[in-house]
Amino acid sequence: MVVHTPERKKIVELIDVSKTFGSNDLKNTVLNNVNLTIYEGDFLMVLGKSGSGKTTLMNIIGFLDRISSGSYSFLGEDVSKLNENKKSEIRNHHFGFIFQQFFLINSLNVMQNVELPLIYASKTNKRERKEAAEKYLDLVGIPEKLTSKTKELSGGQQQRVAIARALVNEPILIMADEPTGALDSETGIGVMELLKELNSHGKTIVMVTHDEDLLKYATRVIRMQDGSFMEEGALV
Ligand SMILES: Nc1ncnc2c1ncn2[C@@H]1O[C@H](COP(=O)(O)OP(=O)(O)OP(=O)(O)O)[C@@H](O)[C@H]1O
Ligand SMILES: [Mg+2]
């Protein structure tokens, strides 16, 4: 079993959380009284079949959707008490998002894509932004692509740009929804090795996957079924 010592910082704490879409006859309970604490340093993988609520859970954790009942604390703050401005501010400063389809902006070059979260977080010093973009493109292994157009990159390179973009604000939590879903398995392994490396340096990661082969990269695994979670034993 993973022993969570009290000193480990709680980043996310969901208590008795339910999420329901629709109403009355069309009510669809996607999360049913779930409890989940994400601690600093976790590499948490979320598995479950299509429609089991994985993205819904990610959206809730990332302040993109609201819970129907229960409580959500982020770094000890009750999320339901935060207004939209404060939520955006926290999202911009503390979360890094990685998606299956990368979501790079094709009209911007690689560096400009990586700089975007800094612009959203009102970090206006151009030189500092460039230095940060360079640092993280170097970290993800594609420093030479700084001025490339995103369309000129392979899928694996595009995902590396997206990872650099997710890291540039030095977020406390990386949220990755099927980050290897659009990549061939070899390229996907490269991306997983990179995420593992980031986690071994202390970065907290929550990742959704369908791929059982990727569980070995995680420190915790939860499976979603019928609105509930099952946590597996220790993996490392
Ligand atoms: N905005 C919404 N309005 C109504 N129903 C929704 C909404 N978002 C999700 N759902 C429903 O919630 C359920 C879970 O969807 P979700 O996208 O979280 O699944 P998932 O596990 O991410 O699936 P996949 O593996 O296909 O990505 C589905 O039945 C879906 O139809
Ligand atoms: Mg999904």
CATH code for the domain of 122: 3.40.50.300
Q: How many residues does the chain have?
A: 236
Sorting pLDDT into bands at 50, 70 and 90, what band is 30? very high
Per-residue model confidence (pLDDT) at position 1 = 61
Question: Confidence class of residue 122 from pLDDT cuts 50, 70 and 90?
Answer: confident
Q: Whose CA is nearest to atom 6 of ligand 1?
A: 21
- Does 226 have pLDDT greater than 90? no
5 within domain boundaries? no
Pairing mode of beta strands 43-48, 220-225: parallel
What is the model's pLDDT at position 25?
Answer: 85
Mutational pocket test of ligand 1: of 17, 34, 56, 57, the residue with most ligand atoms within 8 Å of the beta carbon: 56
Across residues 120-133, what is the average pLDDT? Answer: 90
Is 236 within the bounds of a domain? no
As a whole number, mean pLDDT of residues 112-129 equals 91
Q: Does residue 4 fall inside a structural domain?
A: no
Q: Which residues surround ligand 2, an ion (CB under 5 A)?
A: 54-55
Give the ligand 1 atom nearest the CA of 210. Answer: 25
Number of domains in the chain: 1
At 135-172, the pLDDT tens digits run: 999 999 999 999 999 999 999 999 999 999 999 999 99
Q: What is the b/e burial string over 56-82, where b = at least 16 CB atoms within 10 angstroms of the residue's CB?
A: bbbbbbbbeeebeebebbbeeeebeee
Residue 73 has pLDDT above 50, yes or no: yes
Mean pLDDT of 6-19: 93
Asked if residue 234 has pLDDT above 60, the reply is no
Kindly give the distance from the C-alpha atom of residue 36 to the centroid of ligand 1, in angstroms, as a whole number: 19
- 207, containing H or E segment: strand 204-208
Structure tokens at 228: 């509930």
| pLDDT, position 143 | 92
Residue 109, in any domain of the structure: yes
Which residue owns the Cα nearest ligand 1 atom 26? 50
Residue of 23, 25, 42, 21 whose CA lies nearest to 222: 42
What pLDDT is recorded for position 3?
63
Confidence of residue 105 (pLDDT cuts 50, 70, 90): very high
In a domain, 2, yes or no: no
Determine the residue type at 138: D
For ligand 1, atom 27, the nearest C-alpha belongs to 50
**Per the structure block, which two tokens stand in for 1?**
């079993």
pLDDT of residue 6: 60
Is 225 inside any structural domain? Answer: yes
Task: Point out which residues pair with 38 in neighbouring strands.
Answer: 12
**48 CB near ligand 1 (under 6 Å):** yes
Average model confidence (pLDDT) for the chain?
93
- Taking the alpha carbons at both ends of the chain, their separation in whole angstroms is 10
Over 90: is that where the pLDDT of 84 sits? yes
Residues 6 or more apart whose CB falls under 8 angstroms from that of 78 comprise: 71, 72
Token pair for residue 126? 């151009």
**C-alpha 51 to ligand 2 mean position (Å):** 7
Q: Give the C-alpha separation, 106 to 43, whole Å.
A: 30
Q: Which ligand is nearest to the CA of 48?
A: 1
- Domain of residue 161, residue span: 10-231
Residue 5 has a pLDDT of: 58
Confidence of residue 7 (pLDDT cuts 50, 70, 90): confident
CA-proximal residue: ligand 1, atom 17 (nearest)? 55
Residue 152: per-residue pLDDT: 94
Q: Which of 117-121, 173-177, 218-222 has the lowest mean pLDDT?
A: 117-121
| CB burial of residue 140 (10 Å; 0-12, 13-18, 19+) | buried
pLDDT of residue 24: 83
The pair of three-digit structure tokens given for residue 45, joined into one six-digit string: 């993988």
Q: Quick check: is 96 in a domain?
A: yes
Structural domain contains residue 3: no
Quote the ligand 2 centre to 177 CA distance (angstroms): 7
- Compute, in angstroms, the gap from residue 53 CA to the centroid of ligand 2: 7
Give the dihedral of Cα atoms 47, 202, 41, 185; nearest 10 deg.
10
Q: What is the pLDDT of residue 4?
A: 60
Q: Which ligand is nearest to the CA of 27?
A: 1
